[in-house]
Structure 1
Amino acid sequence: MSASKLQESSEVRIAHSLHTDEEEFVARRRETVFQSLQKLKIHCSQDAVPNIALLGSGGGQRAMVGLLGSLVQLDKEGLLDCILYLSGVSGSTWCMASLYQEPDWSTKLETVKDKIIERLSGPAVSWGDAFDKLKKYYKKDFFSLTDVWAAMAITEYVKEIDEVTLRDQWDHLSKDPFPIYTVIDTQSKKEKEKGGDKDDPWFEISPVEAGYSLTGAFVETSSFGSKFDRGSKKNPQDEMDMLYLQALCGSALADRSEIFKYLWQKIKDLFKNLTPLIESDTFEEMMKEPKAPPAYKCYQVLIDLVEVNLAVLNGKDYSALVQTIKTTLEELGGGTNHLIIPGEKTLAEKQAANFDVKKFTEHVLKDLSCLFSSDSFDLVWSICKCLTWWIWGRNYNFLHKMKNEAVPAALLEGETRDYEDAGLLLNSPYFSVLRKERNIDLIISLDFSDGDPFKTVNTTQKLCEELKIPFPGVNRARENPKNPEGFYVFKGTNTPTVIHIPLFNVVNCGGNIAAWRNRYATFQGPYNLKMITDLMEVAGKNISDNREKLLEQIQAVIDQKRHEL
């Protein structure tokens, strides 16, 4: 059955072909690429126009600013209009979201760049606005840490609440590269890490559809997150906005422990800012009153519960806080017999006994839910629950109860699926552009990763070998992770050519690579104006220094295509 027939017969599309809207857009974009090559004095017939994909890896704000600097320089060198696809992971998607706010951004990039820099170096989103956005997210069928991360963390970096949707962007997308945002399916990731080979964790989100890249199972992007049953939409949900998408794509900025501490601290800050909203002028004074309203005592239990979690994470004594929680719950009439209370032991003994803070938190939340309820309280209670159970990116499963042998059985079972930052499995969106039907000839990989700058390309080669996907070999003997060169080319037989460009290298950083890496850590506060402009400059040098090499490789893939025609 043709792709168009499949699209007409079901709201879920099971096919490896491209969506017809993407096919039509790419055909128009290839004309732009053709005209760009003519301007660059590269001789090419329209049949031999190369399909070039630009990849932006993860790396938090470093990736966001690095990708912006790279794109600005590509534009200055006359190379930007050679790009057919722009795909990102994690922090690179933050840059993409900012760019695609502007219709035809690639035709006025200098102006768009100035607006983005002004915003990033400007004031933060107010706490009140962030909290109001969080309350909106809480009204959805599923609320997770991704919503918290969007309102409380992403807004700190991008300095805005972007409520535009991908569908909105699609309506004015005409002269820019086709964008693809990438995440992974959490459950499939876990199975893959156990050695499973039948699950597909690679999930892509474009302006037209969202779905599993390798399986070929998609739904209209405007319907992603809605409830489906056997391929039919049963309970429509509002389309996710760009703030949520940036959180979905970019939440792996640090290890789990650091994110845990960060979010518990955010909840603590949330309580501090909620104080004026809780019926009293001075929350602390009311807490001292012997006949304080139960609401205040319930909030105090939550505050103490946050402090317990922070104490455990930081290796501090939490026994007094635990006892206070128990006492307060008893005063409120809660059932505390099941609470796991540590005895009179030293801190070292308590740690050795492995006090289960997760179970303790679950039990306290259960008691509180029976004692008190209000909109703000329920929201904070839900945040604590999501943190305890570590729930990220939960959405309805659009493949639920479908019957199709082409789809891994595990993807058809659950009513929900969880999605998270693809950097947790592979910190570059290779599998979005390695789909056979996209026919990519040249991949330009901009690597903004922390640590080993070759990990993404090495991991991709290994995974492609397992999946029998054409990918060039990587000459590991030439690699020096601590002092990489600024430009690598990997070629193979019947594979796309891969250009790999590490952000910090011996060419643009000289002997100061370590200093640059230390200055731009992944999980740190928002950059100031000087940090932004310095990083954009060093990222831009990777393009300007290698302009002739890029042209050479573009010509090489054209010659190869011409030979194959």
Structure 2
Amino acid sequence: MFRAASLPVRALPAVAAVFLWKNDKERRRAAAPPRSWRKEVHPYYNLNVTVLRARNIKGVDMLSEADCYVQLRLPTASPMPFRTKVVYNSSDPEWNETFNYRIHSAVKNILELTLYDRDLVLDDKLSSVVFDIGNIKPGQTTKRVFKLNPKDKEVLEVEFNVEESPDPPSEIITNGVLVAHPCVCVGGKVKCDENKENGDYILKLAVPGSYEKQISAPMKQSQTEADGRFVFHADKEMSPHLDVCLLKTLKVAQNDLGPELDKRTLFLGKGSVPMSSLPIGQEIDIDLPLSKHYVVNMSMTKEESSQELDIRLGFALSQGERDFLEKRKEIIAQSLKDALDLSTAPDQVPVVAVLGSGGGARAMTSFYGSLKGLQDLKLLDSITYLSGVSGSTWCMSTLYEDPDWSSTDFTEPITRARRSMTSSKSGAFSAERLKQCSQQLMALERDGHKVNFSDLWGLVLEYFLHQKDNPAKLSDQQICVSRGQNPYPIYAGVNVRVNISGGDFAEWCEFTPHEVGFRKYGAFIRTEDFGSEFFMGHLIHRRKEPKICFLQGVWGSAFAANLDEIWARASGTGIRWLNSLTDVIRVIDDCRKFHFHDPTRLQTRLVMPGGIISDIFQDFFKSRFTAGELYNFTRGLYLYKDYMGVREFVAWKGNHLDAFPNLLTPMEENLYLVDGGFSINSPFPLVLQSQRDVDIILSFNYSWQDPFEVLHLTSNYCKERGIAFPSISVTEADEKHPKECYMFMDDTNPKAPIVLHFPLVNDTFRAYKEPGVFRETDEEKVFGDFVLKNKDSPYRTKNFTYELLDFNRLVEMNRYNVLNNGQMITSAFKAALERKKHKMTHRGLNKKTKKVKKPGSQTKTSA
């Protein structure tokens, strides 16, 4: 009998978190964001899936028929996949095997049926069917014949039966996109028995589907009180169980010629404890038999999660941002009166967003000039939001180190930027600096953060921007907006998948002083908690908020491009023999034969693999070894049954990843955050959210690519999601030789913002040193006469050191371009103000209007 075990050090801090829900309520109340979710009650159903047979299957082995089996994966009902037996050497295998699930009707239940050809080395995936269980009506048995190859007669026959479960309906928390199930936490201790034999024994504890997965520990008798503790967090709806397995390591001689020993592992026994058998909040002792000779003694306690989530589920703005907006309105109203002589009530001021694109140090330097121009026009206090991608975020994060930056003269921040941009960067790679970087990365890793290349890049950026250690954190910027004294900063990143290009799939992630989150999912956490571990909406392990330089490494991760995208940018085409999502996915939906079309149902799709060789090359060419890998705070949440009705999801495209809820972010362990420029090189999606109700967008484009590319990409983004955006129409001449500013406005749709777009051009700046003031001296003419874009330009994206003249030129040119178009900016403000007043008046009339119905008469409207 063995009664001893030790657990890894990493598990020990989490032991205190076992009772986090029970003993830390005050902290959660103090940190609780505004509640914007709802409770719903939904029934359970019992699902029976019978895999009948397949026909005309062609395997990959040329010498024999296929050795087929089917794997079933339904992650919303079971953490582990099921599989049929293998039918060897048959093109028409028959199984007639039934698999049972209990499904919850609140979530989107998608069953994946994958046909494999058994192989000695690596099983070959032949095809996979993605099927929405919502297509099966309860109380009926339905047989489906899935076509596995559009060109051949390969089919898979499956029978489905759905019946309402006798289990009572349960309550869930949802925001209409995500669902939070109740979470259970089981903690305990494996007790030591000093009188029993010792040896090289390993105890493995696991809860399938839990956050902690598996804990493997060598057994020892000289353990401390904390050594034998364990903790697991799991979904209560999955009916989880604790599996315990005992192994023994043996050392045997490799041969008779040498003393070297080989380690062999001997299985001694296993046992399981259903979590449902444990009482809530009560510690109990369990003697768990693992075999005839081995028993493990444990004490265990189970707690259920509180309904107070540590993640905010909802689409409303954060409380901090709402408080800011109320204070900012007063400042904007006064600014409009002082700068443009426009009198308006604070509630009627237009919401203006300033966007800075990516472009490395060129974007950072240019953004200083553009903001300086707005300050000279006395319009900086009329701006509500300031948002950036890549290099523009470096400018923003430096500015917000000063709590009153927008109301002070720009001379000092520009001087600091000039000093850093014109100084040598060699110190970033000195032995002393590299040693400091190593120490910081090691400390970050000891704290439990996932350290990767973007963190090193962030430390390099820290030196480029400051030439010293910068302890600032993003949450420190809360003081910069506490009085509404500066525009509200929104930093942009995108979450990508490691094997899919950013053009095919990217989810916008916003970073603000108060919250970090995905507006697509309506999921946000406090900025102070970014980098901590969450599961099912609960904070599992709090970690220190990272320095802002590590976020800068993510926001400007120019080196996080996958090799396929680099190839595409360089050659104008992708690697053609790599399959895209469009190539491998086929819609084979036949649901309309069985019942009327339901827009909440996902079409049945067939996923065709590209073969093992193609898969290997895809993994190599599309791997994101430099993406910022971070803990996924949406992990353990599920997609709501009607999530595809939310406009942020492009699920109506059957080959878009949004139509595969089992593969979306909440089902992933990690986030892979990269530069927003790999989707749209300007943060339009973050300010076009309806909750922010932006009236004017000042778009500053510092890219060397197509000067209107971000507008065209944004227009397509909006069309796919039904977001109001003005039509972007430019002439061929403008494409080749863009002007300094363009205004796009939809007169027929006041919901569409007015967009002022500033391409990066040196046009009239060559001849004018100020608007209307010609350059006269030779020095003035030389200063303005320079070429922005050529192969020898100092403003190349990966150049981080400028000459003094080059820096001053770029700042002054961008400042001038804003000043020279001051009248167009003013006209946009006036047009937006008129729109706003009309909108507010219309809303006021609607509030005063009520319907009055008299007996025997039709309904009339009266004011």
Q: Cα RMSD over matched residues?
A: 3.2
1:142 to 447, 450, 467: 450
CA distances 1:124-159 after superposition (whole Å, capped 9, x unpaired): 444323541343123243111101211235633664
Code of the residue aligned with 1:390 in structure 2: it is F
1:477 aligns to what? 731
Q: 1:468: Cα distance to partner?
A: 0.7
1:516 to 755, 768, 788: 788
Give unmatched runs, 5+ long, in structure 1.
261-355, 363-386
1:507 to 760, 764, 772: 764
1:246 matches 2:276: no
CA distance 1:528–1:256, change in 2 (3 Å): farther
Is contact 2:561-2:624 (8 Å) kept? no
1:457 matches 2:711: yes
Code of the residue aligned with 1:527 in structure 2: it is Y
Tell me, what secondary structure is at the counterpart of 2:707? coil
Code of the residue aligned with 1:495 in structure 2: it is A
Equivalent-residue separation in structure 1 for 2:451 and 2:695 (angstroms): 40
Code of the residue aligned with 1:142 in structure 2: it is K
Equivalent-residue separation in structure 2 for 1:495 and 1:13 (angstroms): 28
CA distance 1:206–1:417, change in 2 (3 Å): same
CA distances 1:286-311 after superposition (whole Å, capped 9, x unpaired): xxxxxxxxxxxxxxxxxxxxxxxxxx
1:129 to 430, 433, 456: 433
Q: 1:514: Cα distance to partner?
A: 8.8
2:629 aligns to what? 394
Equivalent-residue separation in structure 1 for 2:785 and 2:385 (angstroms): 30
CA distances 1:9-49 after superposition (whole Å, capped 9, x unpaired): 31111111000110001111121111100102123232320
1:299 aligns to what? none
Tell me, what secondary structure is at the counterpart of 1:98? helix
2:337 aligns to what? 38
Q: 1:517: Cα distance to partner?
A: 1.8
1:119 matches 2:391: no
Counterparts in 2 of 1:421-460, with a 5 A limit? 421-460=675-714
CA distance 1:259–1:97, change in 2 (3 Å): farther
Counterparts in 2 of 1:9-28, with a 5 A limit? 9-28=308-327
Equivalent-residue separation in structure 2 for 1:210 and 1:479 (angstroms): 41
2:830 to 551, 555, 562: 555
CA distance 1:521–1:233, change in 2 (3 Å): same
Equivalent-residue separation in structure 1 for 2:362 and 2:354 (angstroms): 17
Q: 1:486: Cα distance to partner?
A: 0.7
1:178 aligns to what? 488
CA distances 1:498-550 after superposition (whole Å, capped 9, x unpaired): 10001215333579999212321111242232221110011111111011111
2:375 to 75, 86, 94: 75
Query: Which shows bigger deviation, 527-536 or 514-523?
Result: 514-523
Equivalent-residue separation in structure 1 for 2:565 and 2:666 (angstroms): 31
CA distances 1:445-465 after superposition (whole Å, capped 9, x unpaired): 010012211000111001100
Is contact 1:130-1:151 (8 Å) kept? no
Whichever structure has more helix as a proportion of its residues is 1
CA distances 1:424-458 after superposition (whole Å, capped 9, x unpaired): 11100001101100010000001001221100011
Equivalent-residue separation in structure 2 for 1:459 and 1:246 (angstroms): 24
CA distance 1:160–1:480, change in 2 (3 Å): farther
Is contact 1:57-1:429 (8 Å) kept? yes
CA distance 1:439–1:388, change in 2 (3 Å): closer
CA distances 1:183-230 after superposition (whole Å, capped 9, x unpaired): 000129937744x7xxx6111100011111333211111111111111
Is contact 2:350-2:829 (8 Å) kept? yes
Equivalent-residue separation in structure 2 for 1:31 and 1:495 (angstroms): 24
Equivalent-residue separation in structure 1 for 2:412 and 2:786 (angstroms): 33
1:498 to 755, 768, 790: 755
2:398 to 79, 98, 118: 98
Is contact 2:701-2:757 (8 Å) kept? yes
Equivalent-residue separation in structure 1 for 2:686 and 2:638 (angstroms): 25
Q: 1:117: Cα distance to partner?
A: 2.3
Equivalent-residue separation in structure 2 for 1:357 and 1:152 (angstroms): 31
Tell me, what secondary structure is at the counterpart of 2:816? helix
Tell me, what secondary structure is at the counterpart of 2:509? strand
Aligned residues: 442
1:204 matches 2:510: yes
1:66 matches 2:376: no
Larger Rg: 2
Equivalent-residue separation in structure 2 for 1:166 and 1:254 (angstroms): 22
CA distance 1:117–1:259, change in 2 (3 Å): farther
Equivalent-residue separation in structure 2 for 1:431 and 1:172 (angstroms): 24
CA distance 1:256–1:191, change in 2 (3 Å): closer
CA distance 1:147–1:155, change in 2 (3 Å): same
Is contact 1:122-1:159 (8 Å) kept? no
Counterparts in 2 of 1:364-375, with a 5 A limit? none
Equivalent-residue separation in structure 1 for 2:458 and 2:510 (angstroms): 19
Is contact 1:188-1:201 (8 Å) kept? no
Counterparts in 2 of 1:279-294, with a 5 A limit? none
Equivalent-residue separation in structure 1 for 2:754 and 2:744 (angstroms): 6
TM-score (norm 1): 0.72
Give unmatched runs, 5+ long, in structure 2.
1-31, 38-306, 567-615, 645-657, 768-780, 842-863
Equivalent-residue separation in structure 2 for 1:540 and 1:189 (angstroms): 41
Equivalent-residue separation in structure 1 for 2:385 and 2:463 (angstroms): 27
Is contact 1:182-1:249 (8 Å) kept? yes
Equivalent-residue separation in structure 1 for 2:618 and 2:679 (angstroms): 25
Query: Which shows bigger deviation, 492-501 or 511-520?
Result: 511-520
CA distance 1:185–1:178, change in 2 (3 Å): same
2:543 to 221, 230, 237: 237
1:227 aligns to what? 533
Code of the residue aligned with 1:225 in structure 2: it is G
CA distance 1:252–1:258, change in 2 (3 Å): farther
Structure with the larger RCO, 1 or 2 (CA within 8 Å, 6+ apart) = 1
2:34 aligns to what? 4
Equivalent-residue separation in structure 1 for 2:394 and 2:698 (angstroms): 19
Equivalent-residue separation in structure 1 for 2:732 and 2:349 (angstroms): 31
CA distances 1:75-132 after superposition (whole Å, capped 9, x unpaired): 1111111110000000000000110011111111333332332333335444323541
Tell me, what secondary structure is at the counterpart of 1:240? coil
Equivalent-residue separation in structure 1 for 2:343 and 2:732 (angstroms): 33
1:168 matches 2:476: yes
Is contact 1:102-1:112 (8 Å) kept? no
TM-score (norm 2): 0.48
Code of the residue aligned with 2:671 in structure 1: it is R
- Structure 1 segments (4+ residues) deviating >6 Å: 257-260, 356-359, 510-514
Equivalent-residue separation in structure 1 for 2:35 and 2:532 (angstroms): 22
Code of the residue aligned with 1:516 in structure 2: it is L
2:669 aligns to what? 415
Code of the residue aligned with 1:4 in structure 2: it is P
Query: Which shows bigger deviation, 21-30 or 137-146?
Result: 137-146
Equivalent-residue separation in structure 2 for 1:432 and 1:184 (angstroms): 11
Identity %: 29
Is contact 2:383-2:487 (8 Å) kept? yes
